[in-house]
Structure 1
Amino acid sequence: MKSVLQIGFGPLGIQTAKFIAQKQEVQTVAVVDINERLIGKNLNNVDGALTNQAKIFGSIKSAIDELKYHPDVAIITTVSSLKKLIPQIEEVAKFRIPIISTCEELSYPWDLQPELSLQLDSICKKNGIACLGTGVNPGFLMDYLPSVMSSICKKMDKITVERIQDASVRRIPFQKKIGAGLDLEAFRKKEAEGTLRHVGLKESVYLLANSIGLKLDRITESLEPVIAKQDVASDAINVLKGEARGVVQIANGYINGDCKIKMHFKAAIGEPRSFDRISIEGTPNFSSEIDGGINGDIATCAITINSINSMLKAKPGLHTMADISVPGFIN
């Protein structure tokens, strides 16, 4: 039985705890969260679907002090920003606990944030632990999976990855992060602030490029609102005609002016059809599509848990999905 220290108990952390509760080989033994209303409660007091009576603490130290042992792994589901994540990783690292995080910028930070990447790698190696950033996207669908699929190619000229999803079924924080329900002025304001976007698209381009040995010399990224042509709604957000129902982002990776990697991400409330598609131009030419798409919230929690065994085998340092042994389902 692998023991897990969960850090962060928002919607994603709670869902992760629910998935762990259904496992035979993994158990949440403690949770850390900054929400004062949660501190001191047991998990089953927070959500009726959880029978686990593990306690929620206000700090990692207090959790370790009460447990009187170091859990096998820590799962961090708190922030998207690498800069904000570093203090959390540093605190966990002091207790020599390997780390898996859903922080999008951690999925492949080496090209975009090299100094912070080196800092994190140094922290992990100094304390003898491995650290991984993963999730469904970034971390799997638009980077790791197409890199695996490229392995059957004799020749490869270009990879196009598309992720189109109806955001109505996603968690509320995700719907807000893509700008659903905002008028165009508010949408552009949040875009300028950097608080409105799918985080991790450039990271996915770099992760895929690195995995298949491409040395990109330029990456571009665009972001536009998806405008509602009629009123639409999810369970949480009403979107009026003319407002944004989501976002579309496109990132391209170039070598000598030729686009070698194209990523098309679109998430919007009321999107008529969801799918994930990978198209490879080369030998052979082929396209593979997942009709209906993969539910991001379910898959992010699942891959985070299912990466535990691979992470426990990894050497100390900062890792990406391309570095660890292939993860598989954990009972």
Structure 2
Amino acid sequence: MPIRVIQWATGSVGGAALRTLLSRTEFELAGVYVHSPAKAGRDAGEIAGLPDTGIRATDDPEEILALDADCVTHMPLPSAYFTDDPDRDTRVICALLASGKNVVTTTGFSHPRTQSPELVQRLEEACARGKTSLYGAGINPGFMSQVLPLALTGLGARIDHVYLRECSDFAGNPSRAVVTGTMGLGRSPGDYRQMIRPFRAFQEQSFAESIHLVAEGLGLRLDDVEARDEIAAATSAFDVAAGSIPAGAVAASRWTFSATIEGRPVIDMECVYKSDSAQLLPWGDPGVVLRVQGHPEYVVRVEEFSNGLVGAAAYTVNAIPAVCAAAPGIRTCLDLPLITGRGAVRLG
């Protein structure tokens, strides 16, 4: 029988997940939750740009909780950054878990033990009530900063240091709300420093979870994770899909997260956001670089990724069978079988 899935939120990532769910025979869409009243009542197929399904979207969380489903792909913009109610995602996820629905989310929760014992207790109690599991699949950080380094460190006979850099190019992103509103690119340095404060807290929390997850997979107990960020200004004005980047405005940002044991760096992660990589040569090219120092030493590069948001959505959907089959409780990529694109292959 197909796995019955509810899609929670239908933005850029959630919409891609919805289209993936509707294209795969191993899943059956059970419901759709939308934040926008304009989408409420519309057919899920219409929202996804596909033929009608007979499933109407709702903006009423109680309707979603009452549905019979195996799993919820929970993919709103994270409340910890995008709302004045940072606890909202936790409350929603706990309610979904307690109602008997497994949850795969892109709002964090990849390693809740990094945050607090209280958070872990709330989530575990909800899982126990519903006999369900929670998996934080992540967007950024996510697969590239968690699963990829964990898998490839299996090649090391001795590991001295793990370094990962992910560089994103926003030149083709048409959303001014994302490029300037969320990332702060195109703002004056003064405006950027003021608006980035909530994002900084969210970034530090998210990457701390990733680093501690990788450390746990390597059998390490970290002493500290230090976070730093810096910006680069545009030397001249240029245009991107989301609008103009004025001369002197913030054109890129770089975030670095360094984990140490007894004062020695063991894991470093770097995240670079560029408004246009063709205009900004420093801080590396778009893509992902993983460097493992030790014996042997090796570098792995992911140089091209045509649509990272679709990839994040697909990884979340592909995780559903493993999460539904898992024992109740908080699950990480250390607990689950290797998540692959099984069911996504198309021949002919």
In structure 2, do the counterparts of structure 1 residues 62 and 236 end up closer, same or farther at CA, with 3 Å as the change threshold?
A: same
Cα deviation 1:214-252 (Å, max 9, x = unaligned): 111011001122322232333223211211123210000
Structure 2 residue aligned with 1:284, among 268, 282, 296? Answer: 296
In structure 2, do the counterparts of structure 1 residues 328 and 57 end up closer, same or farther at CA, with 3 Å as the change threshold?
A: same
Do 2:98 and 2:126's aligned partners in 1 also have CA atoms closer than 8 Å?
Answer: no
Structure 2 residue aligned with 1:188, among 185, 193, 200? Answer: 193
- Match of 2:105? 101
Q: CA deviation at 1:29?
A: 2.6
Do 1:139 and 1:321's aligned partners in 2 also have CA atoms closer than 8 Å?
Answer: no
Do 2:95 and 2:126's aligned partners in 1 also have CA atoms closer than 8 Å?
Answer: no
Mean CA deviation greater in 315-324 or 109-118:
109-118
Mean CA deviation greater in 181-190 or 287-296:
287-296
Residue 30 (structure 1) aligned with residue 31 (structure 2): yes
Partner Cα separation in structure 1 for residue 314 and residue 273 of structure 2: 21
Do 1:70 and 1:95's aligned partners in 2 also have CA atoms closer than 8 Å?
Answer: no
Which structure 1 residue ranges, 5 or more long, are not aligned?
none
What is the root-mean-square deviation in Å for CA atoms of aligned residues? 2.1
- Match of 2:11? 10
Residue 161 (structure 1) aligned with residue 159 (structure 2): no
What TM-score do you get using the length of structure 1 for normalisation? 0.91
Cα deviation 1:285-309 (Å, max 9, x = unaligned): 1111111257421111010000011
SS for the counterpart of 2:90 is helix
SS for the counterpart of 1:27 is strand
Structure 2 residue aligned with 1:179, among 184, 202, 218? Answer: 184
How high is the sequence identity, in percent, across the aligned residues? 18
AA partner of residue 72 (structure 2): A
Partner Cα separation in structure 1 for residue 201 and residue 115 of structure 2: 19
Do 2:234 and 2:250's aligned partners in 1 also have CA atoms closer than 8 Å?
Answer: yes
- Match of 2:248? 242
Cα deviation 1:18-44 (Å, max 9, x = unaligned): 222222222323111232222222123
SS for the counterpart of 2:232 is strand
Paired positions, count: 327
Structure 2 residue aligned with 1:147, among 147, 150, 155? Answer: 150
Mean CA deviation greater in 291-300 or 114-123:
291-300
Cα deviation 1:76-125 (Å, max 9, x = unaligned): 11142372211111221232011000012x11221233321221122112
Do 1:107 and 1:138's aligned partners in 2 also have CA atoms closer than 8 Å?
Answer: no
Do 1:89 and 1:99's aligned partners in 2 also have CA atoms closer than 8 Å?
Answer: yes
SS for the counterpart of 2:112 is coil
Cα deviation 1:52-94 (Å, max 9, x = unaligned): 34211122432465xxx51121111114237221111122123
SS for the counterpart of 2:87 is helix
What TM-score do you get using the length of structure 2 for normalisation? 0.87
SS for the counterpart of 1:222 is strand
